[in-house]
Homo-oligomer: A and B are copies of this chain.
């Protein structure tokens, strides 16, 4: 699924993050049965990798309090990889105990964000990685790493690429084969994605890089396209674009999975995902949350779903 970057194959892997990144900012608890319904609709569309939940403190993030129940529900499902974020050893133990396929360790590339996010320093976060790696290996569970605020920190601004390189090497030394670069608050642009990819490709060529963009400033899909052109084939997205940043009330969240899949399929990068069914899953998400979501293809439909309307003249050049 991950593996080193290849410029030859054009097949794109999509990890759906709506149950985790998409829902974690939702103030009202989404019933576990609705989360299951959402994930089933995504799997029915052909999604083969789902970041299902996060084993964080239920006090800090009440929305994720059903993490173990969710993982147990999908345990052993063939053909789909279910992953979960684990902030610490206790979270990793719980995720493995529940039957997760892959655990995702994470730390921010910037000190301030790491402190705000998990209440400890980057060094402390990274010091904890080794134990998590050990128990994952013992349990035969896949191990992934994520770098949050990879393209900028809302408190510090630009993040030195060296921070990312150090953290990526740390992950690599622990045997991790897949690292996600998280654009946590939508600060990636095509202009800063490319140099980061170049630096990491040089530093850890044996590691597969996944990209996780937010559309907070409208350029999420342009960043993804820049990544595609630079050989990245592993992306994370959230159906309907669920997952607004809680600090930017009217801004959108993750790039919408269906918009990303649409762009890929129309640009010669096959995903193996049925766009029509994915749009249905976006509709399911919209009904569950009870509000309009920012995804665009779910509204306009694919480009060749031709209009049969007897339209008025618009004198539109």
The chain A residues found within 8 Å of chain B, CB to CB, are 21, 24-25, 54, 56-57, 60-61, 64, 85, 87, 104, 106, 116-119, 146, 148, 152, 154-158, 180, 182, 184, 186-187, 189-192, 215-219, 221-222, 224-226, 229, 245-252, 256, 259, 262-263, 266-268, 292, 295-297, 299-300, 302-304, 306-307, 309, 311-317
CA gap between A248 and B314 in the complex, in Å: 14
Q: How far is the CA of A226 from the CA of B222 in the complex (A)?
A: 8
Q: CB distance A225 to B300 under 8 Å?
A: no
Interface of A is mostly: loop
Q: How far is the CA of A249 from the CA of B190 in the complex (A)?
A: 30
Instruction: Write the nearest CB–CB distance from A185 to chain B, whole angstroms.
Output: 8
Assess the B190–A263 pair: CB atoms within 8 A: yes
CB of A213, distance to nearest CB on chain B (Å): 11
Q: What separation, in Å, do the CA atoms of A104 and B317 have in the docked complex?
A: 9
CB distance from A160 to the nearest CB of B (A): 15
Number of copies: 2
Pick the residue among B190, B307, B309, B316 that contacts A24 (CB under 8 A). B316
Q: How far is the CB of A267 from chain B (nearest CB, A)?
A: 3
Q: Are A191 and B303 in contact (CB under 8 A)?
A: no
User: Would A296 and B118 count as touching, CB distance under 8 A?
Assistant: no
With A251-B299, A268-B191, A315-B117 given, is the CB distance from A218 to B256 under 8 Å?
yes
Give complex CA distance A61, B306 in Å. Answer: 24
- Cβ of A215: which chain B residues have Cβ within 8 Å of it? 296
Given A117-B314, A316-B117, residue A263 in contact with residue B148 (CB < 8 A): no
| Pair A60/B315 contact, Cβ less than 8 Å | yes
Q: How far is the CB of A41 from chain B (nearest CB, A)?
A: 20
A304 nearest CB neighbor, chain B only: B157
